[in-house]
Amino acid sequence: MSDTHARTVAFSRDTMLPPVPPPVRETGAVRWLRENLLGGPLNVALTVLSLVAIWWALSGFLPWAWRGIWDASSLTECRARRDELYGPGVPAACWAIIAERWPQLVFGFYPQSGYWRPPVALAVFLVAVMPVLFPSLPRRMLWLLPPAPFVIYWLLWGGSLWGPATVAAGFALGWGVWLLARRGGAGAGLALAAGVAAAALWWWWIAGPLAGTLARGVPLALQPVLSKDMGGFTLSFVIGLSAIVLSLPLGVLLALARRSEMPIISTVAVVYIEIIRGVPLIVWLFTAQLLLNYFLPRGTNFDLMLRVIIMVTLFAAAYLAEVIRGGLAALPKGQFEAADALGLGYWQSMRLVVLPQALKISIPGIVNTFIGLFKDTTLVAFIGMFDPIGLTGSIRATTAWNGIYWEPYVFIAIVFFVVCYAMSRYSIWLERRLEREHRPAT
């Protein structure tokens, strides 16, 4: 070292110091509070105002909810027990209405002997979709998905097992004919037509008589349940989950149709999407309830729940189409050109290259549409179906519970919040997982 450098530098370290943890105020809860709640005068003021508002809201609600009465058979008895425990006029929730009427809020007018069937049907649905929602599960579990809708239908509506089984056999026959036609060198359109024709002939000529014969020989049946007997959260889950499952593939097809270079297909998709999105869902529900009967043949019995599921599915598909179209528009043009350079056909490029990336981009919008769709199932109360909101009105109109107000609505809000929050958290988990999987190596 030169003399000049020795005179200007007091000390020069020639070894590395071991790493040390950051200061306490730069990590953990202290850092989060400083950055999110106390990061400047404006944030401090907003934090104080928020705490005051939260305290004002909860200071009345929490004591009211905590002093709840769970053991009573009427509102009058509930108030008498409140006066006995806490004194006259003290605010106290009457949770006894939930304790007494929760089967009705959950199952509607479903037969009491069959209360086990809707939960089992929900469990079958969740097990069937698990391999789709969580790709880490064994892919062999995907074989549980095709039979699940028919098992769920049999559990919910009952009747003979052989009816749904023969309908499922028609789908299997159509798929087998399509597969054989493709292996025989037939074009995609011809193979699809052959599969559809085989399934239609099976359902028209064979399924009914075969189901009747099997039902007489091996009577596997559950007590039949009419759609009008379903209500409460069972009704909301049936309509919501059916529409969610059916609207996503339809929304993908509509998004691709709207971006199609064929004018007729593109125009039809645009007209459909704009008409559906331009009219409130409640109007379409009234259409499903009233106007649709005028366009059906005389004497046709078209189940109201099926009509509602179809209408809600078509409504949600229009919104999903726009969400997915935004994801397609966000992809760089090079992705489409790369698929063409690989020699992939249109459907191959969409399935293998374009749609996986577009759906990843669209995850927040898709889940947001699903959450809104599930909450919109409460609108069926306006067309005479007994969802939780409709049943609450019926319960409150009885002599025993006439005058109660907040308690059933709080219970319904909690259940909807739990379901919607679960969907939101899954969306966040899926986004983070896909981000880690596609993060470039450094």
Q: Is the pLDDT of residue 382 over 80?
A: yes
With 0.75 as the threshold, say if the pTM is over it: yes
pLDDT at residue 314, as a whole number: 92
Tell me the average pLDDT across 370-393. 89
Residue listed under structure tokens 């459907």? 347
When pLDDT is cut at 50, 70 and 90, the band that residue 442 belongs to is very low
CB neighbours of residue 225 within 10 Å? 19
Q: Do 363 and 432 touch, CB atoms closer than 8 A?
A: no
All CATH 1.10.3720.10 domain ranges in the chain, comma separated: 227-442
SS (H, E, C) 231-276: CHHHHHHHHHHHHHHHHHHHHHHHHHHHCCCCHHHHHHHHHHHHHH
Alpha helices in 135-161 (DSSP H): 148-157
Domain 227-442 fold is MetI-like fold (1.10.3720)
Tell me the average pLDDT across 167-191. 86
pLDDT at residue 402, as a whole number: 86
Q: What is the DSSP letter of 439?
A: P
Sign of CA dihedral 212, 215, 220, 224: positive
pLDDT at residue 220, as a whole number: 86
pLDDT at residue 356, as a whole number: 86
Distance of CA 31 to the CA centre of its chain: 36
Closest listed residue to residue 367, CA positions, set 285, 439, 422: 422
Tokens at 49, concatenated: 């105002």
pLDDT at residue 181, as a whole number: 86
Tell me the average pLDDT across 72-99. 86
pLDDT at residue 236, as a whole number: 93
pLDDT at residue 139, as a whole number: 81
Q: Do 194 and 165 touch, CB atoms closer than 8 A?
A: no
Q: Is the pLDDT of residue 439 over 80?
A: no
CB neighbours of residue 191 within 10 Å? 19
The set of residues, in sequence order, having a beta carbon less than 8 Å from that of 267 and lying 6+ positions away, is none
When pLDDT is cut at 50, 70 and 90, the band that residue 288 belongs to is confident
> End-to-end alpha-carbon separation of the chain, Å?
38
pLDDT at residue 238, as a whole number: 93
Q: Is the pLDDT of residue 5 over 60?
A: no
Tens of pLDDT, residue by residue over 237-261, are: 999 999 999 999 999 999 999 988 8
Distances (CA, A) of 245 to 71, 313, 320: 40, 9, 12
Q: Is the pLDDT of residue 9 over 50?
A: yes
pLDDT at residue 441, as a whole number: 45
Please tell me the chain's helix, strand, coil percentages from 3-state DSSP, rounded to the nearest 5: 75, 0, 25
Q: What value does the mean pLDDT of the chain take?
A: 85
